[in-house]
Structure formats: C-alpha cells, structure tokens
Copies of this chain bind each other. A is one copy, B any other.
C-alpha cells in the first residue's frame, strides 16, 4: 500500500500545488478567525441571538435584554459572509487552476494578490476604512478568481 500512498502524496510535492495549499490554508484560517471576532464582540457588547446563550447573564427578563443586535457584531458577520462568498470560489477554482499546469511564478502572483486583497478587505471592513478601500480590495480578489477561472476553462473545457 505504500506505493499508492507515495503516488497520492506526490501532488503535495508539486510546487504549484504546495503554493495553492499554503494560500488556501491561509485564507481559510483568516475566514475562521471571523468566528472568533464575532464571539468576542457578542461577549463584550453583550449582544446575543439565542436565548440559551444569555442564561448565564441572568434569569427571565434580566437576560432577555441581551437578545439584541449590535452594529459591531453585525459588521463582523457581514465581513464573514463576504469571505464565504469570495473565498469559496477561490478555493474551488484555485484547485482546478493549480492542476491546470500554470507557471509557478504566475500561480504565486495570483495566490499572493488574492490573499493580500482579502486580508486588506477584512481590515477595510472592520476598522472601517473609508470607501473605496473595501470595494477595491473586494474587486481585486474577484478579478484574480476570474483570471484563474479563465485559465481553467481554456485548459479543461469539456461541456
């Protein structure tokens, strides 16, 4: 069985695939961080959505007042949803792109710009920075994913 193992793990020895793995792990970890930031704001702002989450804060009506929305919590949640909407296409299309045989330098350019743009997007959303900071960082990540999709369709198209 070690033969099969060796075969399947060769993918991770390919440099373009290693770059894909690195940047995919980075952007997915960044997305996961949004959960912690949401939890941080929910606890510090005392703004919850599930009744069972406020049980430790008091009984009956005294706990009910913490079932409310908070602008900071909602802002992080919007950033999190925007991550889902944009990082999911990157992970899916990026995998196909990494397997479509791009040059390592071209692939790294795509992955680095995407990861940088999404990290900037998070800062632009959470601080928040004045527009068009958030809009531009979103657009750059979008364009990178579009460019990878073009390469995938050019290489693999079979309808």
Contact = CB atoms under 8 A, between A and B. Distances in A.
B8 A14 contact: yes
A22 interface: yes
A131 interface: yes
B28 A88 contact: yes
A157 B18 contact: yes
Contact of A131 (B17, B53, B84, B138): B53
A89 B35 CA distance: 12
A17 to B, nearest CB: 6
Contacts of A12: 96, 99-101, 155-156
Interface string A116-159: 00000000000011110010001000100110010011011111
A80 B81 CA distance: 11
* Majority SS at the chain A contact face: helix
Contact of A146 (B24, B32, B84): B32
12 contacts: A7-B10, A18-B158, A22-B153, A24-B92, A25-B96, A25-B153, A28-B93, A31-B88, A32-B86, A32-B142, A50-B134, A112-B159
Interface of A: 1, 4-5, 7-19, 21-22, 24-25, 28-29, 31-32, 34-35, 49-50, 52-53, 55-56, 75, 78, 80-81, 84-89, 91-93, 95-96, 99-101, 112, 128-131, 134, 138, 142, 145-146, 149, 152-153, 155-159
